[in-house]
Structure 1
C-alpha cells in the first residue's frame, strides 16, 4: 500500500476547507423601489422596474445579467431579463433597472381572479429572480409580502 504524501494531504485538506466555506454568504436584500411605463407592442404592457440590491457580505458580487418573475395574488404577472453587468460592492447597494413584460393573458388571469370575488384589500405578491454570475457566482433572490390597498373613502 502506498503512503500519502504530506503535501497531497495538506492540499486535500485546504481544498475541503475552501469548498466548505464557499457557500456561506448572507442572502441579498432586493426591494422594488420604482416602476416606470415603457413602450410595449400590441396588447402587452411593459415597465422598467427599479430594484435596490443590497449586499450584506464582505465580498463584492459581480453579475452579468438579471432575470426576474413577479406574481400577484398567487398568479404570474410579469417577467423580465436584462443583459447588463456590474458589481454590487461588499456591504454596498446598487440600483438596477430591468424591463418587464405583462402579457394580455396575465392581465386577463388577474381580472378573472378578481372577478371571482377575491378580496382586493390584501393582495399577496412574490418577486423571484437571479443575478447571473457564472457557474459558482449566480445569486438567487426572493421577496414576498402583502400589498394593502386601502378601501375607498366615502365622501358625503
Structure 2
C-alpha cells in the first residue's frame, strides 16, 4: 500500500514539474486594439456585429489563443457582448487578427445613437479576456477611444489601451 501511495506521489510531482516547464519565465501581456467593426446581421430585435481585434505578441515565443470574450460599451453604457472559441496562434514578436461576433439589441443601439447626436464623437470601451493554455483565468484587456467619423466607422486603431 505504501509503495502504491509513493508511486502516485512521484507521478504527481512529475506531472506538476512538466506543467511548470510549459510556462515561460518571462511573459509580457499581449496588446489588443480594435481593427474593425462590421454589421453582420440586422433584425428587428437584435443586431449582430463582427469585431476585428488585432492581438500583438511582444514575447519571443508564439502565443496560442483558445478563444476570447468581449464587451463593448458606448458612452459608458453596455452596447454589445460576445464570445469566440476561435483558435489562433499569434506569432512571436508578431500580430494576428481575431474576429468575434457580438450581439446588441435595437433599443440599446437606438438610445446610444440618440445620446451621441450633437455631442461630438461618441466614446467606446472594449473589455474582455484572451484565453491561453498557460493561464486558466485568461488575460484581461481594456481599451477605449472615440468612435471615428462615419466614413471610417471603427477602422482607426484605439486611442488608448490599458491592462
| 101-110 vs 78-87, greater mean Cα deviation | 101-110
> What pairs with 1:6-155 in structure 2 (closer than 5 Å)?
25-111=27-113, 113-114=115-116, 120-134=119-133, 136=135, 138-147=138-147, 149=149
Query: In 2 relative to 1, CA 108–24 (structure 1 residues): closer, same or farther, beyond 3 Å?
Result: farther
Work out whether residues 47 and 103 of structure 2, in 8 Å CA contact, stay in contact via their aligned partners in 1: yes
Between the two proteins, the alignment pairs up a number of residues equal to 131
Q: How much has 1:27 moved relative to structure 2?
A: 2.9
In the TM superposition, structure 1's runs of 4+ consecutive aligned residues that sit over 6 Å from their partners are none
Choose 1 or 2 for highest CA Rg. 1
Call closer, same or farther: CA 1:148–1:24 in 2, change over 3 Å: same
Q: 1:70-120, CA deviations, whole angstroms, 9 ceiling, x for partnerless residues? A: 1110111111111111211221100111111111232244246447xxx52
Please, what is the CA RMSD of the aligned residues? Answer: 3.0
Contact 1:121 1:149 in 2 (8 A): no
Q: Gaps (5+ residues) in structure 2?
A: 1-16, 151-163
**TM-score normalised to the size of structure 2?**
0.66
Partner of 2:108: helix, strand, or coil?
helix
In structure 1, stretches of 5+ residues that fail to align are 1-14, 151-156
State the distance in 1 between where 2:67 and 2:142 align: 16
